């Protein structure tokens, strides 16, 4: 009698059968990658310190110089006799339009900043980038001006502008003409600035499409660019100060550009630190509001000192007769006040808000600044003789 013994089959537990093959926990290529990451982190920490304490400020200075040169140059270029929009100090319409276009482009280039800041120690937060702050707060903020816009509205409303080619018969014959000019300047300035912002948004989409198709420079390349321009900004300010001291007082660069640029660092740095108050305890952009209000407050006495007279008629002596002092006060208006106030940031903040906050913000800022100029300059014009005549104009010395 025979018996068949079935073969022995050993069944392993499933967890043992599916156990992965043993691998060395630290192969050579991973070890090299880890060392590279550690070295990159050390470098990132070093540059983050520079960004916070040095690069941001120097970027603001560099781009503020370019913004002032662009605003003054564009104002001079667009101020000519029989122009469609003519204003004795030079209208800020064109610079406000261009700056709003640029700030919208820079803000809406999401793909560009995502690629550029991919390896940044600050992450993808563009608002911590020195380059972003330089372009927006530094250049666009200095390229545009809110205080000069409010001054244009006030002077046209009160009929205090006397262009050198106007005759007496062309002044306002009716008091209602001032109200019409008030809305004309207001609608044109704000409307054109908003139109520039809309163009900038479309331009940003085009740039993002190009970045997605062809790529963009890395963060390291842009960091080198930022460092170079930062030192160029310091050098430009030093060179400009030397030129302001050494050039003859009637030299075109000195009386149009250099002295104004000397005041621009104070305006841009003050505006940058005031911007930290934006969104503090409420949605209202308190920092931008204070910057524009402070600029208007400084602007008022400068305008009165330049164009006001001591008496009550045109034959009275001017308050300030020294050409050098007038040149410095014009530089304070264009350099400090023009840099401290910003139209581009106001428009960018308006378009980022929803109704009714958008209208509360704009009306609060504009009405308070307008009333400030109206009370100070308007009251003086009622008590004394005051007209923006061509003798002390910014374009005649």
Residue 244 lies in a domain: yes
* pLDDT band per the 50, 70, 90 thresholds, residue 397: very low
Arithmetic mean of pLDDT, 4-23 = 48
pLDDT score recorded for residue 31: 45
Please indicate, yes or no, if residue 6 is contained in any of the structural domains.
no
In this predicted model, what pLDDT tens digit does every residue of 329-374 receive, in sequence order?
999 999 999 999 999 999 999 999 988 999 999 999 999 999 999 9
Confidence of residue 172 (pLDDT cuts 50, 70, 90): low
Buried b (16+ CB within 10 A) or exposed e, 276-302: ebbeeeeebbbbbbbbbbbbbebbbeb
Q: What is the pLDDT of residue 164?
A: 41
> How far, in Å, CA of 192 to CA of 194, rounded?
5
Mean pLDDT score, 312-320: 72
Cβ(75)–Cβ(379) below 8 Å: no
Q: What is the total count of domains within the chain?
A: 1
Q: Is the pLDDT of residue 15 over 70?
A: no
**Could you count the other beta carbons within 10 Å of the beta carbon of residue 210?**
13
Mean pLDDT of 18-47: 47
pLDDT of amino acid 11: 52
Average of per-residue pLDDT across 275-286: 90
Share of the chain above pLDDT 70, in %: 79
Helix axes 259-274, 323-331, angle to 10 degrees: 30
Can you give the pLDDT at residue 343? 97
Tokens of 211: 């970045």
Q: What is the pLDDT of residue 170?
A: 45
Token reading at 367: 């009405």
Q: Measure the CA–CA gap between 190 and 139, rounded to whole angstroms.
A: 20
Instruction: Please say whether the beta carbons of 137 and 60 come within 8 A.
Output: yes
Please choose, from the candidates 233, 242, 253, the residue with its C-alpha nearest in 3D space to the C-alpha of residue 331. Answer: 253
* Domain assignment present for 4: no
Is position 338 within any domain?
Answer: yes
In the predicted model, is pLDDT for residue 378 greater than 80? yes
Residue that wins the pLDDT comparison between 381 and 2:
381
256: DSSP letter: I
Judged against a pLDDT cut of 90, whether residue 40 lies above it is answered with no
Q: In this predicted structure, which of 11-25, 312-326, 363-377 has the lowest mean pLDDT?
A: 11-25
Residue 42 or residue 326, greater confidence = 326
Give the pLDDT score at 387: 66
CA gap 170, 283 in Å, rounded = 46
Provide φ and ψ at 316, rounded to 5°.
-70, 155
Distance CA 105, CA 201 (A): 5
Residue 166 has pLDDT above 50, yes or no: no
The answer to whether 171 and 165 have CB atoms below 8 angstroms apart is: no
Inside any domain, residue 7: no
Which residues share a beta bridge with 180? none
The pLDDT of residue 208 = 93
How many beta carbons lie within 10 A of that of residue 68, not counting itself? 27
Q: Are 100 and 143 in contact (CB under 8 A)?
A: no
pLDDT tens column, 129-162:
899 999 999 999 999 999 999 999 998 888 887 6
| pLDDT at 288 exceeding the cut of 80 | yes
Query: What average pLDDT is seen over the chain?
Result: 82
Show the tokens assigned to 220.
């390291």
Residue 220: pLDDT above 60?
Answer: yes
Residues 6+ apart with CB under 8 A from 311: 317, 384, 385
Q: Is residue 121 part of a domain?
A: yes
Give this prediction's pTM.
Answer: 0.83
pLDDT at 123: 74
CA–CA gap between residue 365 and residue 386 (Å, rounded): 26
- Asked if residues 234 and 58 have their Cβ atoms less than 8 Å apart, the reply is yes
Q: Does residue 354 fall inside a structural domain? A: yes
Structural domain contains residue 347: yes
Range of the domain at 241: 47-392
When mean pLDDT is compared across 48-57, 132-141, 209-218, 371-380, the lowest value belongs to 48-57
Look at residue 36 in the predicted model and tell me its pLDDT: 37
Highest mean pLDDT among 9-13, 211-215, 311-315: 211-215
Three-state SS letters, 52-81: HHHHHHHHHHHHHHHHHHHHHHHHHHCCCC
């Amino acid at each position: 009698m025979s018996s068949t013994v079935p073969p022995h089959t050993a069944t392993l537990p499933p967890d043992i059968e599916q156990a992965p093959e043993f691998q060395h926990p630290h192969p050579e290529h991973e070890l090299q990658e880890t060392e590279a990451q550690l070295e990159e982190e050390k470098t990132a920490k070093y540059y983050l310190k520079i960004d916070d304490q040095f690069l941001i400020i120097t970027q603001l200075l560099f781009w503020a110089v370019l913004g002032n040169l662009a605003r003054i140059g564009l104002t001079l270029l667009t101020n000519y006799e029989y122009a469609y929009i003519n204003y004795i100090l030079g209208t800020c319409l064109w610079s406000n339009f261009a700056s709003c276009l640029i700030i919208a482009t820079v803000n809406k280039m999401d793909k560009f900043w995502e690629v550029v800041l991919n390896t940044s120690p600050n992450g993808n937060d563009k608002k911590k980038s020195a380059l972003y702050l330089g372009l927006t707060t530094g250049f666009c903020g200095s390229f545009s001006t809110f205080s000069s816009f409010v001054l244009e509205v006030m002077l046209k409303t009160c009929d205090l502008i006397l262009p050198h080619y106007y005759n007496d018969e062309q002044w306002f014959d009716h008091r209602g003409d001032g109200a019409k000019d008030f809305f004309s300047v207001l609608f044109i300035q704000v409307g054109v600035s908003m139109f520039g912002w809309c163009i900038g948004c479309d331009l940003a989409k085009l740039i993002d499409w190009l970045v997605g198709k062809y790529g963009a420079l890395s963060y390291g390349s842009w960091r080198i660019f930022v460092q170079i321009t930062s030192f160029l900004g310091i050098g430009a300010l030093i060179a400009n100060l030397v030129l302001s001291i050494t050039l003859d007082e009637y030299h075109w660069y000195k009386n149009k550009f250099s002295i104004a640029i000397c005041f621009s660092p104070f305006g841009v740095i003050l505006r940058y630190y005031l911007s930290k108050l934006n969104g503090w305890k409420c949605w209202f952009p308190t920092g931008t509001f204070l910057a524009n209000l402070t600029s208007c407050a400084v602007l008022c006495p400068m305008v009165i000192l330049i164009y006001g007279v001591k008496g009550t008629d045109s034959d009275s002596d001017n308050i300030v007769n020294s050409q050098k002092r007038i040149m410095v006060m014009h530089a304070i208006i264009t350099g400090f006040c023009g840099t401290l106030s910003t139209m581009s940031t106001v428009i960018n903040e308006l378009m980022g808000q929803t109704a009714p906050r958008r209208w509360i913000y704009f009306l609060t800022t504009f009405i308070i600044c307008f009333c400030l100029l109206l009370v100070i300059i308007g009251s003086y014009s009622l008590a004394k003789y005051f007209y923006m005549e061509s003798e002390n104009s910014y374009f005649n010395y």
